[in-house]
């Protein structure tokens, strides 16, 4: 009887150890852990700022008017204009135009105003043609992604990349940003709801997101594989012990 008691104690300790290990691993996986979900929450979006133009950006400019023959690029639907190292583009009829540091809306208004001298009721559209972000590291689909509009968030970018793998470290992503001739390195914590209020939640042109794998990536290759292996080992030991108990 005493032997059976020892066996049952051993089984209990073993199971506690296995499930404690699984629970500890799970705690680092969910996103936005401190977000209050018991009620529907509303908050103002005050951390979004429109993209501004930088050197080497390519602007797509489309112009239409009542006299389209007066516009040099009238036959082209979306002509690309490279922002030079002085922050300027060369626009037909207008010449050199300073665009660095401006939003596409501000540039559109300037061009439209200047073209009224040459065109009848000009209509202008301006967009960033080379807006892209990179997602690399421990994600399902690391790649460079071209963005069609001018607003994308970190969570949307990770969605494009197929989300983090189970082995990706969620509380220490690295955002690399080049702006105004300087490179910034910013740590991002996906497990905290404070991400939504971060000034880095909305991405800029050429941003790079790096997801670091945890140590199990280089060890067994996948944390889920390690967990399954641990459970199978525990079940094997449990079977042996139960067999021994039954025989006795």
Q: What is the pLDDT at residue 143? A: 97
For the cut 60, the answer to whether the pLDDT of residue 102 exceeds it is yes
Q: What angle do CA 152, 158, 159 make, to 5 degrees?
A: 85
**Residue 230 CB contacts under 8 Å (≥ 6 apart), including other chains:** 18, 21, 22
Q: What average pLDDT does range 8-28 have in this prediction? A: 57
Higher pLDDT, 19 or 236: 236
CA dist 142 → 74, 98, 173, 198, 210 (Å): 39, 35, 14, 24, 9
Q: What is the pLDDT at residue 83? A: 97
Question: What share of the chain in percent tops pLDDT 90?
Answer: 59
Q: What is the pLDDT at residue 221? A: 47
For the cut 70, the answer to whether the pLDDT of residue 47 exceeds it is yes
For the cut 90, the answer to whether the pLDDT of residue 32 exceeds it is no
Q: What is the pLDDT at residue 89? A: 97
Structure tokens at 13: 């300790």
Q: What is the pLDDT at residue 79? A: 79
Q: What is the pLDDT at residue 209? A: 98
Q: What average pLDDT does range 130-134 have in this prediction? A: 97
Predicted confidence (pLDDT) per residue in 65-78, tens digit: 888 777 776 555 66
**Whole-number average pLDDT of the chain:** 83
Q: What average pLDDT does range 96-122 have in this prediction? A: 95
181 band by pLDDT with thresholds 50, 70 and 90: confident
Most confident of 15-19, 116-120, 130-134: 130-134
């Amino acid at each position: 009887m005493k032997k059976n008691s020892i066996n049952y104690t051993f089984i209990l300790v073993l199971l506690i150890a296995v499930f404690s290990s699984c629970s500890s691993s799970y705690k680092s996986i969910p996103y936005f852990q401190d977000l209050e979900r018991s009620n529907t929450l509303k908050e103002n979006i005050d951390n979004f700022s429109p993209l501004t133009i930088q050197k080497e950006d390519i602007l797509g400019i489309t112009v239409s008017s009542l006299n389209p023959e007066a516009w040099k690029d009238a036959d082209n639907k979306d002509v690309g204009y490279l922002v030079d190292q002085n922050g300027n583009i060369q626009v037909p009829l207008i010449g050199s135009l300073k665009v660095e540091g401006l939003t596409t809306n501000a540039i559109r208004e300037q061009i439209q105003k200047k073209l009224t001298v040459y065109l009848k009721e000009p209509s202008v559209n301006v967009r960033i043609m080379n807006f892209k972000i990179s997602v690399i590291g421990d994600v399902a689909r690391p790649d460079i992604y071209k963005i069609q509009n001018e607003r994308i968030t970190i969570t949307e970018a990770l969605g494009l990349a197929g989300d983090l793998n189970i082995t990706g470290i969620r509380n220490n992503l690295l955002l690399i940003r080049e702006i105004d001739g300087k490179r910034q390195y910013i740590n991002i914590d996906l497990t905290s709801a404070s991400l939504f209020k971060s000034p880095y939640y909305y991405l800029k042109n050429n941003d790079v997101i790096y997801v670091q794998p945890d140590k199990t990536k280089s060890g067994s290759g996948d944390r889920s594989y390690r967990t399954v292996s641990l459970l199978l080992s525990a079940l094997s030991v449990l079977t042996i012990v139960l067999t021994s108990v039954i025989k006795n």
